[in-house]
Amino acid sequence: MTEKRSIYLDHAASTPTDPAVVEAMLPYFTETYGNASGLHSQARGSARAIEQARQQVADILGCAPQEIVFTGCGSEGDNIAIRGVAWAQKRAGRGQHVITSPIEHHAVDHTINDLCESFGFEQTVVPVDDMGMVNPDDVAAAIRPDTVLISIMYANNEVGTIQPIADIGALARERGIPFHTDAVQAAGYEPLDVKVLNVDLLAISGHKIYAPKGIGILYVRQQTPLTAPFTGGGHENKRRPGTENVPYIVGIARALELVQAKAGVENKRQAALRDQLIAGVLRTIPNSHLTGHPARRLPNNASFAIAGCDADGMLMHLDLAGIQAASGSACTTGMPEPSHVLTAMGIPRDLALGALRLSLGRQTTAGDIETVLDTLPSIIKKIRQLNPAYEAAPV
Ligand code: PLP
């Protein structure tokens, strides 16, 4: 009997490390392992590898290598950017007002909440429409004389909506306000030229782009006011202390090169599969809704709200059928809470509890999509049959 293929549709949560990335990293575990701050030849080998990686990343982002900071993850990059700029601006007496959106990852929104609760900052959260889009006019209208930072994500992790980053960046630049974007989900698919995007700070995470977990990149434009939140040695241009993780730095630079080089072909291939998946789900499952923007969405994101279903039930049944997926909502101590992203988009609570995110990747095949389309409708039917409220009034 041949073993059933496991179908991994959770690439927005994490990707497998590309073997070419592992290969690039390997010499830096056992051959070139010196502390890059040292003066001997082992150390110089590590320092050279870091500077080469920094140049590779800078070439992709269209910036100077000294504007690249290697971090521990996407969350850390967001924290250094947001806390660092907010504190520097406050210290310089420029104000303490921050603008953001209601659909940010917790790495951003919890950080801004903390600035407000613990450090006296104020925030304006501009709305999103029912497709999860921020309107740049709303950002412009929210700007005050004491606004010191704008933070709007490039692409959303739950529904895949891609924001008009260059437009928001242009209006921030005009007014001299630093603009940060969380590009963790976008980096694997979208262009990253920081001059085209008009961003001052941009965060990337390794494990979303086929590099390992525990490494990230933060772009900080020269002249951006930033007080490093961590203290220690002067590593990473005094932005992020700590002995550099050389193999992982080499790995994320290689991964970024590969993912951006493959984007031309992979974006088209994955978008075609995604569209097939979306059309199939909407056709075969009554009362299922696409969440996020129908066109301006990541090529690998198919996200839905399925009426009459709880997310955990769907995920459990899918997993039993060999399909690994995710929901948009976090469940704490058995009390399901709808996703803040979906509720900000105006999706009613009950419907938001039926969130299902299928995120494709390099190894996703047309056969995988067919299997999902063959499997999902009967799972949904089974769950709904056990939901008396839905059976009584299906919506
Ligand atoms: N920002 C977004 C949009 C994300 O999707 C994630 C991870 O899910 C993060 C930030 C955090 O990245 P990391 O897991 O590298 O800390």
User: Ligand 1 atom closest to Cα of 205?
Assistant: 15
pLDDT confidence of 3, banded at 50, 70, 90? low
What residue has token string 């000294």?
Answer: 66
Q: How far does the centroid of ligand 1 lie from the alpha carbon of residue 185, in Å?
A: 7
**Does the pLDDT of residue 334 top 70, yes or no?**
no
Atom number, ligand 1, closest to the C-alpha of residue 153: 3
Looking at residue 329, its pLDDT comes to: 60
Task: Give the pLDDT score at 337.
Answer: 87
The residue to mutate among 103, 157, 298, having the most atoms of ligand 1 within 8 angstroms of its beta carbon, is 157
Q: How confident is the model at residue 97, as a pLDDT?
A: 98
Mean pLDDT of the chain: 96
Q: Is the pTM of this model over 0.85?
A: yes
Is the shortest distance between the CB of 354 and ligand 1 below 6 Å?
no
- The finding on whether 74 has its CB within 6 A of some atom of ligand 1 is yes
Handedness of CA 197, 273, 133, 204 (dihedral sign): negative
Between 329 and 119, residue with greater pLDDT: 119
Q: How far is the CA of 243 from the centre of ligand 1 (A)?
A: 23
Contact 73 CB / ligand 1 (< 6 Å): yes
State the pLDDT at residue 390.
83
pLDDT value at position 335? 65
Longest dimension (CA), the chain: 75
How does pLDDT run across 43-61, given as a tens digit for each residue?
Answer: 999 999 999 999 999 999 9
Whether 75 is in the pocket of ligand 1, judged by its Cβ within 6 Å, is yes
Ligand 1 centre to CA of 196 (Å) is 23
> In residues, how long is the chain?
395
Catalytic site residue 331? yes
- Out of 105, 165, 202, 300, mutate this one to test ligand 1's pocket (max ligand atoms within 8 Å of CB): namely 105
Supply the residue whose CA is at minimum distance from atom 5 of ligand 1: 157
Asked if 199 and 152 count as a contact pair (C-beta separation under 8 A), the reply is: no
Q: Is the pLDDT of residue 393 over 90?
A: no
Q: Evaluate: CB of 177 within 6 angstroms of ligand 1.
A: no
pLDDT band of residue 94 (cuts 50, 70, 90) is very high
Q: What is the pLDDT of residues 185-195, one digit of tens each?
A: 999 999 999 99
- For residue 392, pLDDT over 80 is answered with no
Percentage of the chain exceeding pLDDT 70: 97
- DSSP per-residue string spanning 132-174: SPBPHHHHHHH--TTEEEEE--SB-TTT-BBP-HHHHHHHHHH
pLDDT reported for residue 374: 98
Q: Which atom of ligand 1 is nearest to the CA of 76?
A: 16
Q: How far apart are CA 356 and CA 290, in angstroms?
A: 10
**Does the CB atom of residue 184 touch ligand 1 within 6 A?**
yes
- Please report the pLDDT score of residue 215 as a whole number: 98
Instruction: Tell which residue, 220, 151, 223, 138, has the closest CA to residue 182.
Output: 151
pLDDT digits (tens, 9 = 90+) for 126-176: 999 999 999 999 999 999 999 999 999 999 999 999 999 999 999 999 999
Identify the pLDDT of residue 19.
98
Question: What confidence tier does 2 reach under pLDDT thresholds 50, 70, 90?
Answer: low
Sorting pLDDT into bands at 50, 70 and 90, what band is 71?
very high
Q: Quick check: CB of 185 below 6 Å from ligand 1?
A: yes
* pLDDT, greater one: 104 or 393: 104
Residue 5 has pLDDT above 90, yes or no: no
Q: Which amino acid is at 281?
A: V
Residue nearest ligand 1's atom 7 by CA: 13
Catalytic residue among 73, 116, 309, 331: 331
Q: Best of 71, 75, 101 to mutate for ligand 1, by most ligand atoms within 8 A of CB?
A: 75
pLDDT tens digits, 104-127: 999 999 999 999 999 999 999 999
> Residue 216: CB within 6 Å of ligand 1?
yes
